[in-house]
Amino acid sequence: MTKSDARLRAVLIVVAGWILVALAWTPPTIVVEQVALKENVPSLYIFAFVLIGFVPWMFATPGILWLTRRFPLSEGRIVTPLAVLAVAGLVIVPLVTLAGQTLAVLFLQNGAIRKGDVFSVLQAAFITSFYSVPTYVAVVAIGQALGYFERYRLRERLLARAELKALQAQINPHFLFNTLNAISALGYKDPALADRALTRLADLLRVTTKAQSQEIALKDEIAFLRDYADLQTMLMPDRLDVAFAIDNDAWSAAVPSMILQPLIENAIVHGAAKRNEGGRVEVSVVPDGETLVLRVTNDVPPRPEKSQGEGIGLANVRERLRVLYGAAQNFAFERSDAGATATIRIPRREIA
């Protein structure tokens, strides 16, 4: 949403809010006109009269909301904002009330004000100002509430961003240390292959250490995973088979960066690497309505190792999904004699 769209939306909300207030004031005004004063006035005419009286409040509302943002109430900072808002109210309420009374008289008298009406308008504005104080207080309270929730949301976004960066920072050294250990073991058997693996690792590190958004296009995530799979295949020659099955409609979908790498690493370390004959890892991504389903399946050893709970990889994936998508995501990990499957479900949307 552009700034102009957001500004227009705010104006429409303010106008709609005061129209609702005018609607709420219309029934009692009808009662006064038709019952107390014994005058039969059309309801639509009375509504228009009431609404015109609130027009100055429509124009004053953005300024009042600006004041509430400029002088927010917070812990340890109450007296000064209240004093400023009270002084501003002493100016705003009489002026807005006077403008409303003037517009009401112009409406009743077809745009004309007689000499004798000036005193009556001032007197009515003076009296109505006292009744308008709760209206001013209500607008200020709404502004303070909106400001509080805006600051709360900003604080939550900053905390979530910091948490995501901390979680992402955990993956890189974990991925690096595990890979270096595997390359070190390979160096004694095949120095040339270990050298090629180090070169591929350097290419991958250039990607992982480069600043990037928390969400990237699936095609970029898969490109990185293919390079990672090639590196792992070098480290386990003739024992590892990594396959990709990506739906054509999913390539431009937004996914968290490096969200699948820990799952593939987990599948290799606890699956293929534990089997004498090696094993297969398959990565599949398919859209499912408004959801994107990412799945990693792998072979498991005949005798599953005792579960030690979730390692850093799975726990990291679970936490990143929670921070990014809240209740809109789901992460499930299942293991049986037939194999292990990790499934991620996130909201489906195109990368911006």
Would you call 130 helix, strand, or coil by DSSP?
helix
Whole-number pLDDT of residue 336: 85
Q: With contact defined as beta carbons under 8 Å apart, do 342 and 266 qualify?
A: yes
Letter string b/e over residues 135-156, b meaning 16 or more CB atoms within 10 A of that residue's CB: ebeebbeebbeebeeeeeeeee
Residues 175 and 94 sit within 8 Å (Cβ to Cβ)? no
Q: Are 272 and 281 in contact (CB under 8 A)?
A: yes
- At 8 the pLDDT is 87
pLDDT of residue 173: 60
Q: Show pLDDT as tens, one digit a residue, over the chain (352 residues).
A: 677 788 888 889 999 999 999 999 888 888 876 765 566 778 888 888 889 989 999 999 999 999 998 888 876 688 888 999 999 999 999 999 999 888 887 877 666 666 667 777 788 888 888 888 999 999 999 999 988 888 777 666 656 665 555 555 555 565 666 677 777 766 667 677 777 777 777 777 676 666 567 788 999 889 888 888 888 888 787 888 999 999 999 999 999 888 898 898 888 888 888 888 888 999 999 999 999 999 999 998 887 666 555 566 788 888 888 888 888 999 999 988 888 999 999 999 988 6
Q: Which amino acid would we find at residue 161?
A: R
Rounded to whole angstroms, the Cα distance separating 102 from 69 reads: 30
Contacts of residue 343, defined as CB under 8 A and 6 or more positions apart, other chains included, come to 293, 294, 295, 330, 331, 332, 333, 334
Sequence-distant (6+) residues with CB within 8 A of 46 are 26, 29, 30, 33
Partners of residue 340 on adjacent β-strands: 298, 335
Query: What pLDDT is stored for residue 313 in this prediction?
Result: 73
The tokens describing 69, both together, are 């943002």
pTM of the model: 0.55
In terms of DSSP bridges, do strands 291-298 and 279-288 run parallel, antiparallel, or are they unpaired?
Answer: antiparallel
Using CA atoms, how far apart are residues 209 and 105, in angstroms rounded to an integer?
70
How do residues 5-57 score in pLDDT, each as one tens digit?
Answer: 888 888 899 999 999 999 998 888 888 767 655 667 788 888 888 899 899 99
Running DSSP on this structure, what letter comes out for residue 277?
A: T
Query: Residue 143 and residue 63: Cα distance in Å, rounded?
Result: 10
| HSE-CB of 321 using CA atoms within 13 angstroms | 23
Contacts of 39 (CB under 8 A, 6+ apart): 33
Tokens of 127: 């009296």
Q: What does the alpha-carbon distance between residue 234 and residue 193 come to, in Å, rounded to a whole number?
A: 7
Q: What is the pLDDT of residue 165?
A: 58
**Pair 231, 179: CB distance under 8 Å:** yes
| Three-state secondary structure readout of 173-223 | HHHHHHHHHHHHHHHHHCHHHHHHHHHHHHHHHHHHCCCCCCEEEHHHHHH
